Amino acid sequence: MSSAKTKTNPVNKLKLTGVHKSFGSNHVLNGVDIAVEPGKSLVVIGGSGSGKSVMLKSVLGIVQPDQGSITVDGQETVGLGPKDRDAVMRKFGMLFQGAALFDSMKVWENVSFGLMQGRGMDKRSAHEIAIEKITAVGLKPEVGDLYPAEISGGMQKRVGLARAIATSPEIIFFDEPTTGLDPIMSDVINDLIVKSVKELGATALSITHDMASARKIADHIAMIYEGRIIWHGPVDDLDHSGNEYVDQFIHGRADGPITRRTA
Measured between alpha carbons, how far is 78 from 249 in angstroms, rounded to an integer?
Answer: 31
Q: Is 64 in the site for ligand ATP (CB under 6 A)?
A: no
Indicate the residue among 101 and 134 with the shorter CB distance to Mg ion. Answer: 101
Among 67, 102, 251, 257, binds other proteins (CB under 8 A): 102
Site string for ligand ATP, 164-203 (x = CB under 6 A): ----------------------------------------
Q: Smallest gap, in angstroms, from Cβ of residue 42 to other proteins?
A: 18
CB 43, CB 222: distance < 8 Å: yes
Measured between alpha carbons, how far is 173 from 234 in angstroms, rounded to an integer?
Answer: 19
**Total Cβ atoms within 10 A of residue 122:** 9
Q: Is 53 in the site for Mg ion (CB under 5 A)?
A: yes
Indicate the residue among 50 and 167 with the shorter CB distance to ligand ATP. Answer: 50
Measured between alpha carbons, how far is 99 from 199 in angstroms, rounded to an integer?
Answer: 22
> Is residue 226 classed exposed, middle or buried when 0-12, 13-18 and 19+ CB atoms within 10 A define those classes?
middle
Q: Which residues is 72 bridged to in the sheet?
A: 14, 75
Work out what residue 163 binds among other proteins, ligand ATP, Mg ion, none; the CB cut-off runs from 5 to 8 Å by kind. Answer: other proteins
Q: Is 75 in the site for other proteins (CB under 8 A)?
A: no
Among 36, 45, 54, 258, binds ligand ATP (CB under 6 A): 54
Q: Is 22 in the site for ligand ATP (CB under 6 A)?
A: no
Q: Is 262 in the site for ligand ATP (CB under 6 A)?
A: no
Q: Smallest gap, in angstroms, from Cβ of residue 44 to Mg ion?
A: 11
Candidates 37-45, 100-108, 125-133, 211-219: pick the segment binding other proteins (CB under 8 A).
100-108
Q: Is 53 in the site for ligand ATP (CB under 6 A)?
A: yes
Q: Is 230 in the site for ligand ATP (CB under 6 A)?
A: no
Q: Is 213 in the site for ligand ATP (CB under 6 A)?
A: no
Among 1, 23, 49, 62, binds other proteins (CB under 8 A): 62
Give the footprint of ligand ATP on this chain (CB under 6 A): 23, 26, 28, 46, 48-54, 209
Give the footprint of other proteins on this chain (CB under 8 A): 24-25, 57, 60-62, 82, 86, 89-90, 92-94, 96-98, 100-103, 113-114, 117-119, 163, 167
